[in-house]
């Protein structure tokens, strides 16, 4: 697959957004590829109607891709900002560099380089694990004016890692394997639905089925090394060097709001923690999505 434009993954998602949530996207993104750190990265470009106020880089998590964040990209573009949504290596339509070993550290490094190569104000908006990826990228970049995250998960924390897994026993078994047999674990791959509760992305049954069974989502095969290297990155402190807004979904059945609090407490600098009225892991439900849009609007206006 070389484009989302004609893919069933995208057309099915777009139809579900309209039919199940009443979300009608007002624009289609331009698709482009950029060589970053040896990877051919697929990037959706969402353009505002008039002159751009800056750039929002959207950062997906371990259960999505850049196109899944289309509703947030459309919001950013509607507020007058250019939105860029990359597929990080191993996910979506990007082509990893030859010999890519599923090293999680590549993710924040790629986002940081994108920010550094962008003119004007840059805000990173991360969903799920993408929230932490965005914060780590801001630490590494010299051109990030703010970070917005829907969760802030320290996957180096064994307790957080166990809860984030599909089953807690699976999380515990994975941690044991990471410690005792890392080289063996690194050779194992799984479809995402088997290791992550993909149905918890949404409260809607049709959207749950989509996330569990789509070829680019639940049925995507991912190396265990991605999660091992994610866990190996221990977080003592987090200094993004810019304001951080955490807008956590209030009805997140995958990663409850309290799971984000330990990492948030270790963030230095201006920060705000907001819990939305409701909203699943991907907060498409009302009134959560309206609240999220309002908080994003205020944050971008302040930037």
**CA 98 to chain centroid:** 24
Query: Rounded to whole angstroms, what are the CA distances from 226 to 73, 164, 200, 257, 282?
Result: 26, 14, 21, 24, 21
Instruction: Report yes or no on 223 lying in a domain.
Output: no
Instruction: Report yes or no on 247 lying in a domain.
Output: yes
Instruction: Report yes or no on 144 lying in a domain.
Output: yes
Instruction: Report yes or no on 248 lying in a domain.
Output: yes
**CA 137 to chain centroid:** 12
How confident is residue 6, by pLDDT bands cut at 50, 70 and 90? Answer: confident
Task: Check which CATH number belongs to the domain holding 36 and give it.
Answer: 3.40.50.1820
What range defines the domain where residue 121 resides?
Answer: 8-160+236-302
Strand-pair category, 189-191 with 122-126: unpaired
Strand-pair category, 82-86 with 55-59: parallel
Instruction: Report yes or no on 46 lying in a domain.
Output: yes
Per DSSP, the three-state class of 267 is strand
Instruction: Report yes or no on 291 lying in a domain.
Output: yes
Query: Rounded to whole angstroms, what are the CA distances from 179 to 160, 235, 263?
Result: 17, 18, 23
157 with 266: CB under 8 angstroms? Answer: no
> How many domains in the chain?
1
Query: Rounded to whole angstroms, what are the CA distances from 62 to 4, 100, 195, 270?
Result: 19, 17, 11, 27
Q: Which backbone phi and psi does 85 adopt, to 5 degrees?
A: -125, 95
The residue to which tokens 């997906």 are assigned: 60
pLDDT in tens, 138-174: 999 999 999 999 999 999 999 999 999 888 888 898 8
55 with 120: CB under 8 angstroms? Answer: yes
Per DSSP, the three-state class of 49 is coil
What pTM does this model have?
A: 0.96
Instruction: Report yes or no on 270 lying in a domain.
Output: yes
Is the pLDDT score of 1 beyond 70?
no
pLDDT in tens, 12-44: 999 999 999 999 998 999 999 999 999 999 999
Instruction: Report yes or no on 227 lying in a domain.
Output: no
% of the chain with per-residue pLDDT over 90: 90
């Amino acid at each position: 697959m070389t484009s989302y434009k004609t893919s069933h993954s995208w057309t099915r998602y777009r139809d579900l957004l309209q039919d199940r949530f009443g979300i009608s996207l007002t624009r289609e993104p331009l698709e482009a590829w950029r060589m970053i750190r040896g990877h051919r990265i697929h990037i959706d470009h969402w353009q505002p109607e008039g002159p751009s106020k800056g750039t929002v880089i959207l950062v997906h998590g371990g259960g999505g891709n850049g196109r899944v964040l289309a509703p947030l990209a459309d919001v950013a573009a509607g507020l007058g900002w250019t939105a860029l949504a990359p597929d990080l290596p191993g996910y979506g339509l990007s082509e990893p560099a030859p010999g890519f070993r599923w090293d999680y550290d590549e993710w924040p490094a790629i986002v940081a380089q994108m920010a550094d190569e962008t003119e004007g104000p840059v805000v990173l908006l991360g969903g799920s694990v993408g929230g932490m990826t965005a914060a780590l990228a801001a630490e590494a970049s010299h051109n990030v004016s703010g970070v917005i995250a829907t969760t802030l998960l320290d996957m180096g924390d064994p307790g957080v890692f166990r809860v984030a897994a599909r089953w807690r026993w699976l999380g515990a078994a994975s941690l044991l394997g990471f410690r005792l047999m890392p080289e063996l674990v690194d050779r194992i791959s799984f479809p995402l639905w088997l290791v992550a509760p993909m149905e918890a992305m949404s409260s809607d049954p049709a959207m749950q089925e989509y996330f569990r069974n789509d070829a680019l989502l639940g049925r995507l095969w991912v190396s265990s090394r991605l999660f091992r290297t994610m866990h190996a990155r221990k977080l003592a402190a987090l200094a993004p060097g810019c304001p951080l807004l955490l807008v956590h979904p209030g009805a997140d059945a995958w990663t409850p709001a309290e799971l984000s609090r330990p990492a948030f407490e270790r963030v230095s600098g201006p920060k705000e923690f907001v819990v939305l009225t409701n909203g699943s892991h991907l907060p498409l439900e009302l009134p959560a999505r309206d609240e999220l849009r309002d908080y994003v609007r205020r944050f971008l206006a302040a930037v």
